[in-house]
Structure 1
Amino acid sequence: MPGFSAKIDGPVTFAYYGVQTMEGKDSIGVAEFREWINATSALSSGPDYREYAEFVDSAGFYTWISIGYWRGDAQRFSDWSSGPKHQSFWESPARLTQTSGYFREVLQTPAERLETLYSDAAMCAGANGGTVPMSSPIQEHNYWGSMRDRIRASGNDALLSSSSASAARSTSTQERHGRVLISGKANLATIRSGEHYEGLIGREKEIYDRELVPSVVEGMLYLRDNPVESGCYSCRHMTETTHSGDTLERKFAVAHFVSLRHLEVWSESHPSHLKIFNRFIEMAQELKGAIKLRLWHEVLVTEAPAQYFEYLNCHEATGMLPYRESVFSSSSRS
């Protein structure tokens, strides 16, 4: 199958803002967060593109996330996040007294540390945001190692990391923290990988529902639950929604790895990923390439100063909280 890449020339800011609660998707905390993020993101300084998703985490907390993409000068995100509409909610003391928890995970990267791959040149997803031109079918595709070859910086940088997922602390969901900032990790590798399954019918839908989805879930649970073995700090498997929370026929996973090499090893050799990969290839061959399932991913390798993780009243197992080699409390940074 052909692969296409978004023609992104400048830097990109990826901002994941989330709310977590044991009270479910219809809770007051989720509604207030959704109203706030939608209003502030609509400002002229807001993101170029947004997507939304929901999932229930390992502790049973319903989580709703807004993912904003700012393309170009990183100052634009800073202007937005330091503005009064943002600060009035994010800095409010109420964030630390409610039953809901809130977090933001922000990654900023130059284009040479980013790669994207789409199975359909007409897809609107992630960093391409529907407005970035797509390439012709690319050569760096369909072989192990092609992911690294699509990251231009890898031509003169091994993108190594001295960090380790073995530094995990307590993952108790009973302990809550106030406002916590976590230092970045050298050459953190982040992948967001998804599928659009609108309109699947017949044999393709049967294979997708009965075989592919369970295999993907199995693989994502392995990454989530085995950080030391896999080198994966955090893995969230989510279903996309609209800005108001209505479910879409799209899923994706976001995973933070110690390094690009850790991601490569899992992709190339671990049974949980090979099961997904091989069954998809078998499906494509069985259906003679006539498939409606559309796949995409984006991979970025960010330097430590270009990462910002902040958690407000979140349980201990949230995101990067279990791996805080350096933790300090503070008012939020723009």
Structure 2
Amino acid sequence: MDSNETGLESAIPAHLRVEGSRSPRGDDGRTPPYPSYSARFPETVRAVACAFLGVQSARPLSTAARAASAEIWELCSGENGPSSRERATHTDEQGFDNLVIIAYWDDVEAYRRWFTGNRDSVIGSNAELADHGRWIEAVTPAATGLETLYSSNTFPEGVAQVAADGFSADIREHGYWGSMRDRLPRSQTETLDPEGAPSVPGGSGIIHVEPHENLAIIRSGQDWSGCEQPERDSYFGDVEPHLRAGMDFLTAGGSSIGCYANRYLTSTGADGGLLPQTFGLSFWRSLEDLERWASSHPTHLAIFGSAMRFLQANAGARLRLSHEVYVLRREEQHFEYHNCHPTTGMLGAARSDNGR
């Protein structure tokens, strides 16, 4: 373990730390207000893969769309399939229902073999999609372009499900504006400025969105399965309404502040039933745009304020919070859409002024 005199550990593991060209924003000896942890991967893991594999149709979700999602789920159990997979659902801004499979690999080469063998089936290359659409949003962030933050070190969520070395000790880079950047290994030597804009090369049928350098993605979740009723009442009475309002703003108006797309998803079980877990998934022009929303926009300040009130009112709170952020090279991104409505995910960014 690498820790300072306070017993806190850096979110950046020792093998990814370098002599930096910038000083961390939290490099002032402060003590975080509560414990948080980062996922830990073996040194041999140089990158991970995360694929969001979606189907959509007008409400209610069509039988064909449900069958397609079930087929994709089974494909994930095959050779070179993901080490972790989960399901979620949401209704998007156009009123379309979406079923999403979220798949993670800690072996990018295995992911590439799986993708090469199954891409046509997932996207429906040889299918007539009369009443539903399919989409793939897949990324392979380098270990240096990934940062994570968790309120619990006993219940891995998201990419932490494939982190073979578990969790760090309590980390020091959290609890202040700018800590997200301080947890990113690439930020030690890079400004992470965006280069270019998303675009669609043209054509019809299956549409591929060309991404740009240093696009940022955040998945930020909450799990209240372990909460007693008073804590649930506190969460749904104060925190969740502000969170939903923030998610609604990013979905409807996020393009004005650099958010290309946003989804507010609910996790589901094998039977399709809703689980006591939700997460936001958003795509940003840059890490800086994401940071600016987090630190200064009224919608996020309302979320942050309600969360602080919740933690103060619920000592030993059992609400579990999770957060993973990727800052991606152009070649680490793959966005593909088949028979989807025009504002689906990054397709909407490439077909509007969002791409600037």
Question: TM-score, normalised on structure 1?
Answer: 0.88
Identity over aligned pairs, percent: 34
**Distance in structure 2 (CA, Å) of the matches to 1:296 and 1:285:** 19
Distance apart, 1:98 and its partner CA:
1.8
> Is contact 2:83–2:105 with CA below 8 Å preserved after alignment?
yes
Distance apart, 1:143 and its partner CA:
1.1
Alignment partner of 1:312 out of 338, 341, 350: 338
1:296 match: 322
Distance apart, 1:244 and its partner CA:
3.9
* Matched pairs, number: 313
Question: TM-score, normalised on structure 2?
Answer: 0.83
Unaligned runs of 5+ in 2: 1-33
Cα deviations by residue, 1:185-208 (Å, 9 ceiling, x for unpaired): 210010000000114234322221
Alignment partner of 2:184 out of 140, 144, 151: 151
**Distance in structure 1 (CA, Å) of the matches to 2:159 and 2:135:** 21
**Distance in structure 1 (CA, Å) of the matches to 2:97 and 2:113:** 30
> Is contact 2:65–2:133 with CA below 8 Å preserved after alignment?
no
Q: Which structure has the higher relative contact order (CA within 8 Å, separation 6+)?
A: 1
C-alpha RMSD of the superposition: 2.1
Q: Establish whether residue 22 from structure 1 lines up as the match of residue 30 from structure 2.
A: no
**After the TM superposition, which segments of 4 or more aligned residues of structure 1 sit over 6 Å from their partners?**
none
Alignment of 1:42-53 (within 5 A): 42-53=77-88
Amino acid in the other structure paired with 1:77: Y
Cα deviations by residue, 1:229-263 (Å, 9 ceiling, x for unpaired): 22000000010012442211000010000000001
1:172 match: none
Task: Mark the CA change 1:53 to 1:88 in structure 2 (over 3 Å): closer, same or farther.
Answer: closer
**Distance in structure 2 (CA, Å) of the matches to 1:245 and 1:202:** 24
Distance apart, 1:86 and its partner CA:
4.9
Alignment of 1:186-225 (within 5 A): 186-225=213-252
2:134 match: 102
Task: Mark the CA change 1:229 to 1:216 in structure 2 (over 3 Å): closer, same or farther.
Answer: same
Local SS of the residue matching 1:109: coil
Distance apart, 1:214 and its partner CA:
1.0
Local SS of the residue matching 1:308: strand
Greater shift in the superposed pair: 314-323 or 148-157: 314-323
Distance apart, 1:221 and its partner CA:
1.1
Unaligned runs of 5+ in 1: 169-176, 327-334
Distance apart, 1:276 and its partner CA:
0.8
Amino acid in the other structure paired with 2:237: R
Q: Establish whether residue 76 from structure 1 lines up as the match of residue 103 from structure 2.
A: no
Distance apart, 1:91 and its partner CA:
4.3
Distance apart, 1:3 and its partner CA:
0.4
Amino acid in the other structure paired with 1:17: L
